[in-house]
Amino acid sequence: MKIQFVAPQVQKNLIVFFDEKKRLLLPKDWPQELSRQWQAFLGLPEVKAESSSVHNLFHPLVERVFLVGLGKKRDFRELGGMLGKKLVQPDFSNLHLLLPEAPSHPIYNEIEPFLEGLFLGRYRYQGFKTKDNLPDPLSNLTFLAPKTKALAEAASLAWTKALATNQARDLGNLPGNKMRPKDLMAACKAAAKQGGLTFSALNETQMEKEGMGCLLGVAQGSEEPAFLNILEYKAGPKAPTLLLVGKGLTFDSGGISLKPGLGMQEMKHDMCGGAAVLGAMQIIAQLRPKVNVVALIPTTENMPDGKATKPGDVLTACNGTTVEVLNTDAEGRLILADALAYGIKRFKPSAVVDVATLTGACVVALGHYHSGLMCNDEKLYQQVEQAAKRTGDPVWRMPHAEVYDKEIEGTLSDLKNIGSKDGGMITAGMFLKRFVGEVPWAHLDIAGTAWSVERIPYYPTQGATGTVTRLLADLAMNWKK
């Protein structure tokens, strides 16, 4: 996308702001005819000034003008998302943003989240339709304002974050026959090459040598080979290391414990944790934080083949922990267990964050607004919480008291892969905690926020949301050991 600056002038596809008193924020020499017409529209009783709003009008001189109301309670990212959702016609590839004349106006300090919301809200998955009326990619954003370094940097940063998030959404939206484990590995390899990251991947033979029985146990029901993708960003030999682990189940049928058929097509989204980690690494590669970041994305399918793991089977993780599989549909924690234990042993991180569409219980507990958060370290919790607030990826902390450990204690093995039906999100997190030891650890369960979210304007109401992609990158950019 090209970002440019020109003097304020009448342009097509124009974005104009008005304040909580219904006053248009226009340059002094703006054409009075347009000003009067727009001001007359704002005078209508149905135009509310209390809350943020976006109004789409037609005028022969500008074709489309979007009057954006700032409202009294402003969330500029949400406002940008509301605007982006209005830009659904194919001819909105060139946008013109008219900024207030006074550079002291609050919008100058909030232009980055506003544009980020716009870029994210405008997203539509292109899919496989041969004929559709989807928006053209945004090719030009023109500021009708004097050029400043701060505005240019804010626009570039917003585009970088949104582009990576939208690419994570694209990966999450691909159907299972187009996004197989080898396809996710290829996407990781391509992203690493583009961003100058180090890439490697363990195949099944190498994982067997490492003793990754849990990951391989999930994979053995699929004809598609499994991989453990490894991407590394290196800030320097003396920098601390942050480990990110994302669940990359490219399709989850439930295995032998087969899921109901209704809605099973949504299980193509079960790799959204891995997509978020990959998207975060793309942002990190460009913004270059002062912390080493390693990303692990275990990827496989969970299928009900004759060779598939059966309920009651016992698997052994790479750290020697034995696990009785009571439900093969609780597979995400199994592949993450091996990835966590391997990553901590090999890379010795200062902290680790895992991301997964892990439990339906998280959706029951928190719905589709907050991602569930568990954390064993207060300092790390504060950093994740602050990153969530800065990026608008809401999280909510759940307990991890040791009393929940009893739920996952095995009878003929060290652990079992499910507890009772109560507190399922927490017991799944406690299972993962067994594989991180004393390392500061945070777990993000995105089962309720990974796709089809209605209450966040910059999230799509259908399809993958790319949630926590920007959160993870922000965490790295603001990392404090």
Q: Is 26 helix (H, G, I), strand (E, B) or coil?
A: coil
Is 183 annotated as belonging to a binding site? no
The DSSP code for 421 is S
Two tokens, residue 444? 């993000």
**Distance (Å, whole) CA 406 – CA 419:** 8
Two tokens, residue 127? 């899919």
Is 19 annotated as belonging to a binding site? no
Q: Is 356 helix (H, G, I), strand (E, B) or coil?
A: strand
**Distance (Å, whole) CA 437 – CA 425:** 19
Task: Assess contact for 351 and 480: CB atoms under 8 A.
Answer: no
What phi and psi values does residue 174 have, to the nearest 5 degrees? -65, 135
Is 50 annotated as belonging to a binding site? no
The tally of CA atoms less than 13 A away on the side-chain side of residue 25 is: 27
Task: Assess contact for 227 and 181: CB atoms under 8 A.
Answer: yes
86 is annotated as an active-site residue: no
| CA dihedral (252, 253, 256, 259) positive or negative | positive
390 is annotated as an active-site residue: no
Is 48 annotated as belonging to a binding site? no
Residue 182 neighbours by CB under 8 Å, 6+ apart: 224, 225, 227
Is 252 annotated as belonging to a binding site? yes
Residue 299: closest CA among 202, 412, 442, 160: 202
User: Which residue among the candidates 333, 416, 433, 434 is catalytic per the annotation?
Assistant: 333
User: Which residue among the candidates 182, 259, 390, 397 is catalytic per the annotation?
Assistant: 259
Residue 62: closest CA among 122, 142, 139: 142
What phi and psi values does residue 142 have, to the nearest 5 degrees? -110, 125
Residue 297 neighbours by CB under 8 Å, 6+ apart: 184, 188, 228, 229, 231, 245, 246, 248, 274, 277, 278, 339
Binding residues for Mn(2+): 247, 252, 270, 329, 331
Binding residues: 247, 252, 270, 329, 331
Catalytic (active-site) positions: 259, 333
